[in-house]
Amino acid sequence: MSTEVVATPARHIVGPLDQIPIGEGRAFDIAGEQVAVFRLRNGALRAVSAACPHKGGPIADGLIDLQVVICPLHLNAFDLATGCSTTGSGPLRTYDVQLDGEQIVVLC
């Protein structure tokens, strides 16, 4: 009989919700990884890798809507829910993100 070990993601509090204006993103160093957290216009939060796989562009500075972020350097677009590129670039890693009261928590 074998037992499967399942790692539980660590909770990382990155700060208060109001540090990210609605419709914008911010980059955070979380456990040695750069993570971009976005506060969408509908109030939802999304978190993805902060560097574009194409040339390392700052994803947190990209334009967003409710589904996509566009890299500000070369206009590669990525689905915020899946990390998949809609323009042929490699994918971004996605992270679970949630609120604990007014604190943003990223799980990774």
- Whole-model pTM: value is 0.91
Question: pLDDT (tens digit, 9 = 90+) per residue, 12-41?
Answer: 999 999 999 999 999 999 999 999 999 999
Among 54, 51, 48, which residue's Cα sits nearest to residue 68?
48
Question: How far from 64 is each of 2, 4, 13, 41, 54, CA to CA, in Å?
Answer: 45, 39, 23, 9, 18
CATH no. of 21-107:
2.102.10.10
Residue 1 has pLDDT above 80, yes or no: no
What are φ and ψ of residue 7, in 5° steps?
-75, 135
Report which secondary-structure segment, H or E, holds 69.
strand 68-70
Q: What is the mean pLDDT of residues 39-66?
A: 96
Q: How far is CA 14 from the centre of its chain?
A: 12
| pLDDT band per the 50, 70, 90 thresholds, residue 51 | very high
Sketch the domain layout of the chain as residue ranges: 21-107
